[in-house]
A and B are shown apart, each in its own frame.
Chain A
Amino acid sequence: MSEMATPLPAAGPYVTAPRGHLDQSYLTAGMTLRSWLTTTDHKRIAILYAVAITTFFFIGGVAATLIRIELATPAGDLVSAETYNKLFTMHGVVMVWFFLIPSIPATLGNFLVPLMIGARDLAFPRLNLASWYLYVAGALFTLVALVLGGVDTGWTFYAPYSSLYSNTHVFYVLAGVFVVGFSSILTGINFIVSVHTLRAPGMHWFRLPLFIWAQYATAAILVLATPVLAMTLVLLGLERFLGVGIFDPALGGDPLLFQHLFWFYSHPAVYVMVLPAMGVVSELFACYSRNPIFGYRTMAYAIVAIAVIGFLVWGHHMFVSGQSTMAGAVFSLLTFLVAIPSAIKVFNWTATLWHGRVRYDAPMLYALGFVGLFTVGGMTGLFLASLALDVHLTDTYFVVAHFHYIMVGGSVSAYLGGIHFWWPKITGRLYSDRWARVAAILLFVGFNFTFFPQYLLGVQGMPRRYYEYPAEFQTLNVLSSAGAVILALGYLLPLLYLGWSLFRGARAPGNPWQATGLEWSTTSPPPVDNFDTLPIVDAPPYDYRPNVIPPDVISAREGTH
C-alpha cells in the first residue's frame, strides 16, 4: 500500500523545477470563502494564520506608537497613567501571544513542515484547522477586552494586583490567552507527530533541515510549557473571581508562587519565539552563502540544548521579587549556561559565510540583521543574568531593550526574512528585491535608533512602564521615538511591495533561489497535495557548492516588472 515514489534528483541546488502552475495550485483549488474557512490544507491554514497575526501585529503596533509618542516628552501629557498602563499591557499581550508565539511556527511552520519532510500534509489536518479556530476565539476574547477599555496589569499579570486590585476586564484577557494556549499545544502535537511519522523515505533525522529541528524543539516546548500557563491563568481567575487565597498574602497565599508558575511557561515561551527564527536564519545563511551550514549536527544539538536549558532558568525574572538568594544563585548559573548553545549557533552561522559566495538579497539582509541584533540582545542578557547587575538593571529600560533586541531585532527580522525567502513558493510570485532591501535596511536602522538608546536609558536608571520621566532622559527618548518612525516604515513597506507582487509580480519558478530543501523541488505555488510524486531523499541537507553557480539562477532583481 506504500507509495511507489520515483526518486527525484537530489533536492539540491540544481533541480530546475517546472514553472509555477499559478492556475492549478492549492491557491486555486476552491475559491470561495467557505473553502478557505473549512480547509484542512496546511498551506491554506498557514495563510489564515498569516492574515490573523499580521492584523494583530499592527494592533500591537498601534499601542507601541502611542507609547512612543507619549514618551517623546517627559510629562505625561498624551494619555493618563491608567491609559498608559493599558497601552503597554495590550502591546505586550497582543505581541507575545497573538503575534510572536504563533508567528513563525503557525505561518512558515505550518506551510513548510510537511513540504520539508516530504509529506502531503501534517499528521492531523483537522486538528490544524481547530488550532486556527482556537487562535481566533482567543483573539476575539482579547479584542473584547480591548474594546471594553483594555487591561492594565502588564502582560505578566502579576498577582495580587491582577487578582485583587485591577479594575479592568482581566477576565477576557485571561480567557483569551487560555484559549490561544490550546491552539499552541495542538500545533505542537501536530508538528511532533508529523516529524516522527511522516518523513519521506531516506529523510533521516540528520538530513532534516535545521528549520525542522527548530520547529520540533519549539513544538516540544509548546506541549510541555503551555499547560502550566493555562492552569496558572485558571488559578488567577479563581483568585480574582472567587477570592481563594492562593497568591494573596493576606489569606496565606504567596505572590511569588504566581511568578514561579507564570515564568515556568513564559521563559521557555521566549525560546518559542526565537528558536524558529534561528531555524529560518540557518536556511537563509546556507542558501545565500552557497555553503552548507557549518557544523550541522552541532547546530541541531544546540537547538535541543537551548530548548531544554530554557526550562531551567525562569527564576532570573524574579531576582528582586523576594525569592531566596539560593534560588537566585541557582537560576543565575543556569542562565549563563543557556548562552553557550546560542553562542555556538552564532559562531557557526558566521563560519558558514567563510569561503562562501554571499549574495546580499533581502532575505540575507534580514538574516544578517538577525545575527547581529540577536547577538547584542543575547549579550545584554548576560548582564541581566548577573545577580548584582540585575539589581540595578531590572525593571529599567535596559530590560526592555534587551528583549526587544531579541524578539524584534531577532525574531521579527527572521520572520520577515523567511516570508521573503519563501514568498515565491507560497504565492508563486516574485517580489521586487530592490524595495525589499530598502525595507530591510530601514528596519535595521530604525530598530537600532529605537532600541539602542533604551539600553543607555536603562543604565541611567529610567524605569520601564512609566508614562513620565525626569527631563534628563528626554534626548534619548526622542531619539528612540524618532527611530520608531523609521522602524514603522520598515514594517509598512513590505505590505506595499509584497501586496503589489501578488498582482503584478513575475511568475516564480519552482526554485528561484536554487536552494536545497524538498520544498523547492515542487512547483511554486505547490499543488494541493504538495508533490506530484513523493520524494526519496539521498543527499545531505544543504548540499550547496559555493563556487558553482548554475547558469539559470534567477535573482529576484531580474524577475520583477
Chain B
Amino acid sequence: MSATTATSVQRQACAPGVAKPFHDAAQQADAAALGMWLFLASEILFFGVLFFVYALARAHLPEAFAAASRQTSFVLGTANTAVLLTSSFTMAAAVRAAQLRRHGAAALLLLITAALGVAFSGIKLTEYALDYRHHLVPLLDFAFDPRLARGALAFFWLYFTTTGLHLVHLTIGIGLALTFAWREWRRRTPRLHEQVENVGLYWHFVDLVWIFLYPCLYLVSRA
C-alpha cells in the first residue's frame, strides 16, 4: 500500500447525488428503506405501550369504557377513518407515479394526500371542540355519570393522548407530503422516488395506527 497524501486520497467515483458512504444509488435506497422500517418498528413499540395500557384499563373498567366510548362521535370518527384510508390510497398512487417518473402526477397526488390529511385534522379538531362542549376533556370541566367517572376519565385521557400523538405524527406526515410535492414539482432531485417511497411508508404507518385506534375508541359499545 503506497503512502498517500490527503490530496491524493482516492475518492470513490460517486454517482451524482449518492451520499458519501454508499457505492451506488441502489445501495443507498436499500439503506434508506431499511432505516425507515427500523424507525417504524420503534414506533410500533412507542404507540404499542398506549394500546397495552388501554387494554389493561378496558379489561379493568369495561362498563365505564363502554359508556365513555358511546360519547364519541360515531359519524365524525367513521368519516375520518374513511378520509385517512383514502389518503393512504392517494399516497400509494403518488409513490407509484413517482416510481414511474410522472412527476406532475406525483406532485398532485401528494398534494391531495396532504389535503386529506388536513381534512382529517380539521375533523379531529372539530371533534375535540365538541368533546370540550360536552365536558369530556379531562381537567377542563370534565363531567360524567359519577358511578363511571373514574373509568370514563381513564378512557378520555387515553383518547386524547393517543389521538393527540397520532395528530402530531400526521402533521409531520403532512409536512413531508407537501415538501415532496414541491420537490416532485421542481423535479430537480435525482431518484426522488426512493425518498417518496419512504414518506409513503411513514404515511401508511400513521394510517395503520388509526386503523387500530378507531375500533378501540369509537366502537367499544354501540349496540
Contact = CB atoms under 8 A, between A and B. Distances in A.
B3 interface: yes
Interface string A185-197: 1001110111011
Interface size class, chain A: 35 or more
Interface in A165-217: 185, 188-190, 192-194, 196-198
Interface stretch (B10-18, B118-126, B181-189, B201-209): B10-18
Interface in A225-246: 225-228, 230-232, 234-235, 238, 242-246
Nearest to A42: B21
A17 interface: yes
Contacts of B48: 228
Nearest to B24: A1
Contacts of A528: 6, 9
Interface in B1-39: 1, 3-6, 9-15, 18-25, 27, 30-31, 34-35, 38-39
B150 interface: yes
Contacts of B220: none
Contacts of A156: none
A29 B6 contact: yes
B200 interface: no
A185 B41 CA distance: 11
A77 interface: no
Contacts of A261: 49
B42 A226 contact: yes
Majority secondary structure of chain B interface residues (helix, strand, loop or mixed) = helix
A382 to B, nearest CB: 29
A114 B31 CA distance: 14
In this complex, the member of A188, A192, A193 whose beta carbon has the largest number of chain B beta carbons within 10 angstroms is: A193
A227 B154 contact: no
Contacts of A251: 150, 153
A18 interface: yes
B45 A533 contact: no
A226 B38 CA distance: 13
Given A123-B31, A243-B139, A114 B38 contact: no
A1 B17 CA distance: 13
B6 A527 contact: yes
Contact of A532 (B9, B42, B50, B138): B9
A238 B56 contact: no
Contacts of A551: none
Interface string A446-490: 000000000000000000000000000000000000000000000
A18 B154 contact: no
A395 interface: no
Contacts of B153: 244-245, 251
B157 A244 contact: yes
A124 B5 CA distance: 26
B6 A1 contact: no
Contact of A24 (B1, B6, B56, B61): B6
B135 interface: no
Contacts of B30: 197
B46 A197 contact: no
Contact of B12 (A124, A189, A534): A534
Contact of A252 (B4, B31, B35, B60): B60
A121 interface: yes
Contact of B38 (A189, A234, A529): A189
A529 B21 CA distance: 9
Contacts of A3: 12-13, 23
B53 interface: yes
B151 interface: yes
Interface in A99-137: 114, 119-125, 127
Nearest to B15: A1
A228 B48 CA distance: 8
Interface in A13-50: 17-18, 21, 24-25, 29, 40
Nearest to B3: A18
B35 A123 contact: yes
Interface in B38-88: 38-39, 41-43, 45-50, 53, 56, 60-61
Contacts of B20: 40, 120-121, 125, 529
B163 to A, nearest CB: 14
A235 B52 CA distance: 12
B199 to A, nearest CB: 16
A324 interface: no
B166 to A, nearest CB: 13
Contacts of B161: 234, 238
Nearest to B36: A189
A188 B38 CA distance: 9
A2 interface: yes
Contacts of A257: 53, 56
Nearest to A254: B56
Contacts of B19: 125
A119 B139 CA distance: 54
A123 B38 CA distance: 13
A224 B150 CA distance: 33
B6 A197 contact: no
Nearest to A230: B46
A29 B5 CA distance: 12
4 shortest A-B CB distances, which residue pairs? A227-B46, A231-B49, A24-B6, A121-B21
Given A193-B34, A223-B41, 18 more contacts: A3-B23, A21-B5, A123-B35, A190-B35, A196-B34, A197-B22, A223-B38, A223-B42, A225-B45, A228-B46, A231-B49, A242-B138, A246-B53, A251-B150, A251-B153, A527-B4, A527-B6, A532-B10
14 contacts: A1-B15, A21-B6, A29-B6, A185-B42, A189-B42, A197-B27, A197-B34, A198-B31, A224-B41, A227-B43, A227-B46, A230-B46, A251-B150, A532-B9
